[in-house]
A = this chain, B = another copy of it.
């Protein structure tokens, strides 16, 4: 069960952090970009190669201290096919280095189309007698707006290939309440989605009682997160919004119970740490050491606030 692997690794490292690999061109040191611009010109290919190289440096520095990475596919789709190649290579490299890979793809579609996304992202396709995986993910994020038949097509692949899902419940952005907070008979939409997530995960519960169908619950809404933690006892939380978006360790502690139950994402705060005065390195080539230092600081910040 992939959720057990994730929790085991969090416990082993005593670190419930996932690093968001959401690179932006402006984060990438010039010693990387210059090389590829010289070779490929100012092209998407040069950028794709640069983003992958950038990620590789960071993965090498963090793979022994954090359990998981969460590449955000939008940052790569931005550059078309060349960007997506960098995404694919990043996921593969992270997996090779022992990291659990949460593909932040937030896909959503009706059943037969969901099956195609499933095949590509966590399942397999058969071509002749050969089987292939499109992308290399342990978990993927999904959007629930279309209802159960847009989520259940993924559950068999979760069972057959030891994969997991993380479904949006309450997102971290300022306007998330516009739809998610609407009240239906005293219950918000995100709570309704929460109940569905518990149900979708019923057959995928592991040794810690949590299922391989998790929920996205933003760190920026602590009161709501607290209610969801009680309402969803078998659902592991992926918590975005820490750091740059304003979520504090004190606030998101409510997502945990007995020291487990959630993993907290930080993207910019870790992968762009080298641009901050407190983590700046003297040699450009050492930029990823800043990410390591920031990841260790985040670990301490979380450990301070989460009761075990």
A residues lining the B interface (CB < 8 Å): 22, 25, 37, 42-44, 46-47, 72, 74-75, 77-81, 83-85, 88, 106-111, 113-114, 116-117, 119-121, 125, 127-130, 132-135, 143-150, 168, 171-180, 182-184, 189, 192-193, 196
CB–CB A72/B113 < 8 A: yes
Copies of this chain, tallied across the complex: 2
CB–CB A134/B44 < 8 A: yes
Given that A77-B117, A79-B134 are known contacts, is A143 also in contact with B179, CB under 8 Å in the complex? no
Closest to A46 in B: B127
CB–CB B47/A113 < 8 A: no
CB–CB A43/B77 < 8 A: no
Nearest Cβ on chain B to A218's Cβ, whole angstroms = 9
Note all chain B residues with C-beta closer than 8 A to A148. Answer: 175, 178
CB–CB A113/B22 < 8 A: yes
Closest to A146 in B: B171
CB–CB B178/A116 < 8 A: no
CB–CB B108/A108 < 8 A: yes
Given that A43-B127, A108-B143, A189-B189 are known contacts, is A132 also in contact with B80, CB under 8 Å in the complex? yes
CB–CB B47/A127 < 8 A: yes
Selected A-B contacts with CB under 8 Å, 6 pairs: A75-B116, A77-B121, A81-B81, A108-B168, A147-B176, A148-B178
Nearest Cβ on chain B to A52's Cβ, whole angstroms = 13
Closest to A193 in B: B179
The residue that A74 contacts in the complex, of B78, B116, B129, with Cβ under 8 A, is B116
CB–CB A78/B144 < 8 A: no
Given that A80-B133, A172-B110 are known contacts, is A179 also in contact with B88, CB under 8 Å in the complex? no
CB–CB B129/A146 < 8 A: no
CB–CB A117/B78 < 8 A: yes
Note all chain B residues with C-beta closer than 8 A to A111. Answer: 173
CB–CB A178/B125 < 8 A: no
CB–CB A150/B175 < 8 A: yes
Note all chain B residues with C-beta closer than 8 A to A150. Answer: 173, 175
CB–CB A134/B178 < 8 A: no
Given contacts A74-B107, A74-B113, 15 further A-B contacts (CB under 8 A): A42-B129, A72-B113, A72-B116, A74-B117, A77-B120, A78-B125, A79-B120, A143-B145, A145-B179, A146-B171, A146-B179, A147-B180, A149-B173, A149-B175, A150-B175
How distant is the Cα of A22 from the Cα of B22 in the complex, in angstroms? 29
